[in-house]
Chain A
């Protein structure tokens, strides 16, 4: 499983999300969109029109992707089986 989080530097919810993932021992890659134009372009291509952060892509071992906009705890728990 891989977890990729698109964020901006000042995002409070992104900060809480990564804290929660750390607490649950779930490794992730965090990409800061407003610090790198290439990352911003990448975010705009993968977000399916959901313009907001945190935007998270969880890819399970079979390659299936789940895209989550925002930090809704219940959704993350369900997708990650916590």
Chain B
């Protein structure tokens, strides 16, 4: 493995929180690296239209917003590496070593902004059909279901917003909600109820999923108020909540749901390691909030470098 490259700030995760932090630290002349396990933007990048991010009266495409954020961070000197999954974070003297699957980096301070991923159903048949009829990203895959029937599972903001997006393509949608009502915002509820293509079904819990033929329909068995019901569909989209991407950070303190705990300055239990965005315990899972958290964490990181490390440059990190 090549010698470790040295940075003042390594940011794990290239979504709104990480890219906002990178803009601020790079602009403060801190040598900054952003690593993302996949394409930049995380969940924001796969959102077709973002209507609740300030500054865009007609909304903004998630991909376009992220492209601007990457370009803005790079303009101030941040290095942004996509498809560079971080596998471990180790404290060393005066800093940290961040390992990806191919390289290692030294950093004075680290921001974890690794975001979250969609929660799976964990029912029989699901794993075998992921990518073969079960999907977690409407922006990615809904256009493949033009004039077809789709089932959406979930009742929160994501399920409602994505159902409305899928309705642009699909012939009809059965929306299966576990509880007795939607939990998403009233604005989205009203829009879903006004969309004729969407049929909501409450008290509907998925039990198992089957697909007997690669090109055939999918069968979903659902219990609804104790009765077994069956749906035949061309595709299923699942939006039932989020899981934090925190498994790689075993030595950082988490809450009972594995979201990373921080103090008011966004610092974790490891001095010098900060956290922002969806992966943080207490996050509101909003893009605007993630941006704010990333900026606040960046300011705290700058102060940490100045106070705890006396403003030492990245090249002085040798332990």
Contact = CB atoms under 8 A, between A and B. Distances in A.
Q: Tell me, yes or no, whether A binds B.
A: yes
Interface residues of B, number: 25
Interface string B229-262: 0000001000000000000000000000000000
A3 interface: no
A51 B215 CA distance: 10
Interface residues on A, range: 20 to 34
B214 A34 contact: no
B82 interface: yes
A61 interface: no
Given A8-B143, A12-B140, A33-B143, A51 B38 contact: no
Interface in A1-42: 8-13, 15-16, 20, 33-34, 40
**Most chain-B Cβ atoms within 10 A of its Cβ — which of A16, A34, A50?**
A16
Interface in B56-73: 61, 63, 66
A10 B66 CA distance: 13
Contacts of B214: 48-49
A13 B133 contact: no
Contacts of A71: 38-39, 83
B139 A51 contact: no
B16 to A, nearest CB: 14
B39 A34 contact: no
Interface stretch (B40-48, B114-122, B153-161, B291-299): B40-48
B83 A49 contact: no
A48 B83 CA distance: 26
B132 interface: yes
A16 B39 contact: yes
A11 B131 contact: no
6 contacts: A15-B39, A16-B83, A20-B83, A40-B144, A51-B135, A52-B140
Interface of B: 38-39, 41, 45-46, 48, 61, 63, 66, 82-83, 101, 131-133, 135, 139-141, 143-144, 146, 214-215, 235
